[in-house]
Chains A and B, each alone.
Chain A
Amino acid sequence: MRYFIKMSLMLVFWGAIGSSECVAESRDVVVVANVDNKDIRLDKRAVRNLFMGNAIDVLLEPVSLPPETLTRAVFNTKVIGLTESRIQSYWSQMRFSGRSKPPREMQDIDDLLAYISTHKDTVAFFPADTPIPDHLTVVYQTRQ
């Protein structure tokens, strides 16, 4: 309930209410990778580390959606565990100290799916009800 209220406030803040994506997307996400090993599964901590530029044993390139999207708000809340403003602060520290760069961003879900479909060893998050092509692997999903 607390997360739901937080997410609602965040959506008001980022001006996302009223967008078509808001209506279409679900309030859970799946994390999908383009990998040869179909058995690979990640836990929440590993996904968080991947998308925050921290070291994990699996080397995958994270790809994200823009900050104002509902899917990213859900991902921030349920996986990263930080507000968008805290994440932006964190990346400004990483970028301007030359330590790491934020994930590449795609404009919408269609572009994101097209990108990871054609790039090996990439990983991205999608609304839980997104049809995922067979050649991609769901490596993590939030509770549905």
Chain B
Amino acid sequence: MCKRLHSRIVVCLLFAFFCSVNVSFADEKLNISGFGRLVAGYLDDNNVSFEGYTNELTFSEQSLLAIQADYQLTDTVSVTSQLLAHNNAERDSGIEWFYLSYQPNANWLFKAGKMRTPFYHYSDVMDVGFAYAWISPPQQLYSAFLFNQYEGISGIHRFALGPVSASVELYTGSYNGDTSFQQKRYPTDIDNLRGIVLNALVGGNLKLRSSFITADFSLDLEEITTFANILRGAGFVESANSLTMEGEFDIYQAGAIYEEFDYHLAWEWMKISSKTILAPKITSYYVQGGYVFDPITVNLTFANLITSEVETANEIPFGVNPGLDQLFIAYNTTLQRTKASDLKSVTLGVRWDAGVNVAFKAEVTHYQGGIGISTFEALSESAAFAFDERANLYQIGMEFVF
């Protein structure tokens, strides 16, 4: 309730600001731009929800409005702020980006402040639906369970090597906030975040991207911590330690996009690894092809998420006495509830660029996958048994930039 009120206040402020910026446009030092999206979605299964979608039509999961202000302080220094209002109560509305840039020339760019984390090709423009083909980018990579912001510094160097135009980006920082999955929010600390992103444009048509990210993380899963303390008190230290959500994670990413005038092909792959038992160990990828019947683009995407088996502690005996049996069952249930599930999907989408700054999209995605964090969430215990691990998500949307 409070979050919805907050979102509405931010929307009102954005509209008020937008109505008053025509004066500011006249100032060459200040540049106002923005983006928005109105998205409706419907899941054709009444047993589960997926990324907030259920079998009731909703506009509230992904619709948003944002305004970005860039102010040029000097020839080389500027400050940028992006204010964003979500219609989704699970997401924060407010300042999404706020950073200072120093660009001594076209080949060097340094930024410091609050920024989006550039995990994958579209991670830092996830909210800018106009920037990509889908309504929902493949959830197998672009899932909400990763934190999407950090506070820190980054440096980008662009350079040319023969037929290759390349860039290298280094960044470091931290994140203290919430991580959302299964419509719940968990206090999260990310420290020692370090990343490198390599981009290369080969021969004008082939874009390559590769990145590596590492960080220390700590999630406060209150209910699980309470149970872990019970296990520790009962002497099952190894089992208790396996239920902590602290440690280090590494993310590897690689991707390629080949673009011609009337078609494009794209592929992106990522792997998350961690020694923490509760942290999901995932390998995901998608392949996409699109054909342009200008101004219409038709896209077909296959995406896959594969989880790795988790090695759990096996020190709680079963069948000795009812008390231990209860601990054994509770331990395994906890592991099951925090488990990621494999997920496959095929998406057929159409994008109509109705003008230079507005596009309409429609897409249908067929998903196959079990119940798990960041995939399907059962709406009740009986629904979990009734779910056949298949569902279709229908979405239509309007994307705009200004």
Contact = CB atoms under 8 A, between A and B. Distances in A.
A92 B122 CA distance: 11
A68 B295 CA distance: 13
Interface stretch (B351-359, B367-375, B381-389): B351-359
A93 B204 contact: no
A13 B294 contact: yes
A98 B167 contact: no
Interface string A59-88: 100000001100000000100011111101
A49 B125 CA distance: 22
Interface in B53-101: 68, 80, 82, 97, 99, 101
Nearest to B359: A85
Given A86-B292, A88-B353, A57 B160 contact: yes
A95 interface: yes
Given A83-B292, A96-B68, A98-B111, A88 B122 contact: no
A107 interface: no
Give the 7 A-B residue pairs with the shortest CB-CB distance, closest first.
A85-B353, A55-B158, A93-B131, A54-B165, A97-B124, A92-B131, A67-B356
Interface string A1-34: 0010010011001100000000000000000000
Contacts of A56: 160, 165
Contacts, number: 103
B259 interface: yes
B166 interface: yes
Interface of B: 33, 35, 68, 80, 82, 97, 99, 101, 105-107, 109, 111, 115-116, 118, 122, 124-125, 128, 130-132, 156, 158-160, 163, 165-167, 201, 203-205, 259-262, 264, 292, 294-295, 297, 353, 356-357, 359, 401
B353 to A, nearest CB: 3
B204 A48 contact: yes
A144 interface: no
A135 interface: no
A55 B107 contact: yes
A89 interface: yes
Contact of A98 (B101, B131, B203): B101
Nearest to A60: B106
Nearest to A84: B356
A44 B204 contact: yes
Given A82-B261, A97-B118, A49 B165 contact: yes
Nearest to B264: A86
Contacts of B132: 89, 93
A13 B356 CA distance: 10
A85 to B, nearest CB: 3
